Structure 1
């Protein structure tokens, strides 16, 4: 595709001349320069202070560890600038080398073990660097508010469905199953409240976490596996990252525990987990996040997308119900 004016000007500010572009998704472009080099031009919905924190942290990690990450190289011309804007009030864009490869497959136990090991090595590398305070996202101790916010999203959507009568097919589904979904959310929050989460946060040094680890944020290349997309990077308990990796890998694969076991096996080649880790992991996995993400922006969707949500609802609900059997297998695995 011929580059549009915005992409041409943004690329020029990074010191490169773009020849072709491909729209990967809204605000994300794959661009090819006149010299044949490939990059990812990506819009970032975060303030500059946070982007600078992410960049400083990743630059340290690249210098002090061997972990492979997809991020700018400041020694190259295209990596001299952290971000650019098309216009003064426009959101920032970053430019990252395009990685040729494929996403790891949850159907491959070997690849899932490698994902777990990669995440553990990322956590390990984070302990070797100095984390600056300015711009950082510190989520230690904030799980209760995070889960309550998700619960409130579900509650609002379900209550609205009850007020609407049968305005849409989703209203009917939420009226029928809303109480069950909210009960799942309450059970997770209640278990967290009765756990030693607060004590663990006080006694445990925060881990540098990716924040949204999963198969689509890992690229398999000939050189090895790379972590990409660091917008959600934060300080948190390491188990949050493991939860995200397991959730993102299992949610579209019928919550097959073999996938989670491979991830955990790979992670524990580097870092062992303890009983408290498993208890906190269960709390996060019990929460019906898949359902929350499915329905939260229903009213803003196109008719086609609304129809897809309505069709996906029974499958996602079945996955949420299947979580109990998954968690029992996790208990057996933990020993």
Structure 2
């Protein structure tokens, strides 16, 4: 689903909605609208319509049955969530809220967001909603993802090896490649054995996930926390959401063990992770995803010049490597 900025001409689609617009202004990569029915957010829609309709049904369930605050779609005068501009661009209008996003400098915000994520998962699991066939899966796709990433890492390494004059980034990459690549191989080896033994096929543990869980999608509004941007919702271990949230936070705190434990405890006070979810969480932390991301960005951009920011990101991955492993060793004992 799209998060692209809306061209101002798209404002005319607001005429298709049963509301009165007082003012519009840009924000959150879209257009925020002050209306007689509260704040709304207008943006282009570039995703699958069937998935959009499924997300709408899910969010309606969460609001009605789970008392979870979410940025649901607003239906137009025809009862549809998609509105077509005269230039054929598709737009959606969503509920929006006055407030602020989760402050990563505030441990109170971080722990409150972790608890809210657990509430969300509990509410999702109680929803009586039929999963459409295009969303269904029999097992986590994490193994296939790791295999693909490992293949891409080798391609980057081979490319750099063949370069005569290597940049600082490329020298850093080659120096760190073997250790981090082997960590990925360990994950693949373990998960492959489990797959052969049918230990990865417990589909009952795979449930609806938010899909893009980070501090930007927890919106603090009065005494409520609104969870936003379900565009990438998927079926997987729900520990995937916890992983994405924790990784984004802990990278900023050099994998501080006390904070990581507090985040995990805040979540598990509201929802206990199942054993398969704990294992999935561990393997996701152990796999060097950030190393792959930095390398992939390098390979898909101009390689004749690497920005200082990319060098700093890679340097940060290497500097935090021992901290990640130390965090994982302690986390195992607490889970």
TM-score under structure 1 length normalisation: 0.84
State how far apart, in whole Å, the 2-side matches of 1:312 and 1:285 are: 17
Q: Deviations over 1:234-270 (max 9, x none)?
A: 1212222222221122122211223322222122222
State how far apart, in whole Å, the 2-side matches of 1:89 and 1:189 are: 45
Which residue is 2:3 aligned to? none
Which residue is 1:43 aligned to? 44
Q: Deviations over 1:110-163 (max 9, x none)?
A: 333322221222121112222331542547332211221222232222222222
Q: Deviations over 1:270-310 (max 9, x none)?
A: 22234443322111101111122223133555799833112
TM-score under structure 2 length normalisation: 0.84
Structure 1, 64-73 or 225-234: larger mean CA deviation: 64-73
State how far apart, in whole Å, the 2-side matches of 1:87 and 1:158 are: 48
State how far apart, in whole Å, the 2-side matches of 1:201 and 1:130 are: 22
Number of matched pairs: 326
2:70 pairs with 1:69: yes
Which residue is 1:162 aligned to? 161
Gaps of 5+ in 2: 1-5
The match for 1:21 among 20, 25, 34 is 25
Q: How does 1:208-287 map to 2 (within 5 A)?
A: 208-287=208-287
Gaps of 5+ in 1: none
The answer to whether the Cα contact below 8 Å between 1:104 and 1:112 also exists between their aligned partners in 2 is yes
Which residue is 2:178 aligned to? 179
Q: Secondary structure at the match of 1:41?
A: strand
Specify whether residues 151 and 40 from structure 1 end up closer, same or farther in structure 2 by C-alpha distance, changes over 3 A only. Answer: farther
* Alignment RMSD: 3.1
Specify whether residues 139 and 167 from structure 1 end up closer, same or farther in structure 2 by C-alpha distance, changes over 3 A only. Answer: farther
State how far apart, in whole Å, the 1-side matches of 2:8 and 2:236 are: 40
The answer to whether the Cα contact below 8 Å between 2:33 and 2:41 also exists between their aligned partners in 1 is no
Which residue is 1:333 aligned to? 334
Q: Secondary structure at the match of 2:272?
A: coil
